[in-house]
A and B are shown apart, each in its own frame.
Chain A
């Protein structure tokens, strides 16, 4: 991992298209400004991981899913 020190209003560039700027530092909180092409998705990591986990869980569909579905129909 590359570690860089930056001050407020300083930036780093990632490749040609991405710029990350330190907008503010308030105690333990850092505000970042990010310029990136529209095709690049930017998310808080914990949210991305949450979606990844949910997709994993959804992919582990019970083998008897069709049966569960038809049971559900009979119940309702």
Chain B
């Protein structure tokens, strides 16, 4: 199928590349199908593009290069919803709020995206902890 993306024009994708978010994301409940795209020269950063809405795309990144001891406790309920059977099923991303200059951008570590990369199901999980912030600086000491 063809989808029109915010940053990479029209792409031809296979149905099995789509990641399903059965609950959408808080604030975007209707958006349930996304494509995780690499950026040319994106480094740490990838784009989560809505399949339905061209204008809706989030910058995402793995939290670990930003906070190396970041940890998420996936309770039974999440494991069930995402059909997670083993640790290798899981990929974790934080949504980045991009600022100008880019070094002022923040990443949401309070509500990471949990994705079963094998089943291609995802969910934004709000963590029951005050340890992580919605606006964690992507560059340390540059908040």
Residues in chain A within 8 A of chain B (CB atoms)? 38-39, 41, 43, 47-48, 50-59, 61-62, 64-66, 68-73, 75
A72 x B101 contact (CB < 8 A)? yes
**A64 vs B42: C-alpha distance when bound (angstroms):** 14
Known: A38-B77, A48-B26, A54-B95. A73 touches B43 (CB 8 A): yes
Chain A-chain B contacts (Cβ-Cβ < 8 Å), number: 87
**A56 vs B42: C-alpha distance when bound (angstroms):** 22
A68's closest neighbor in chain B, by CB?
Answer: B102
**A41 vs B80: C-alpha distance when bound (angstroms):** 13
Residues of A within 8 A of B23 (CB): 41
B101 x A38 contact (CB < 8 A)? no
Instruction: Give the interface centre of A54, A55, A58, A70 by most chain B CB atoms within 10 Å.
Output: A58
Residues of A within 8 A of B39 (CB): 66, 69
A58 x B126 contact (CB < 8 A)? no
28 contacts between A and B (CB under 8 A): A39-B80, A39-B81, A43-B126, A47-B126, A48-B26, A50-B134, A51-B26, A51-B124, A51-B134, A54-B95, A54-B108, A55-B95, A58-B58, A58-B95, A58-B108, A59-B57, A61-B57, A61-B59, A65-B59, A65-B98, A68-B102, A69-B39, A69-B42, A69-B43, A69-B102, A72-B101, A72-B103, A73-B41
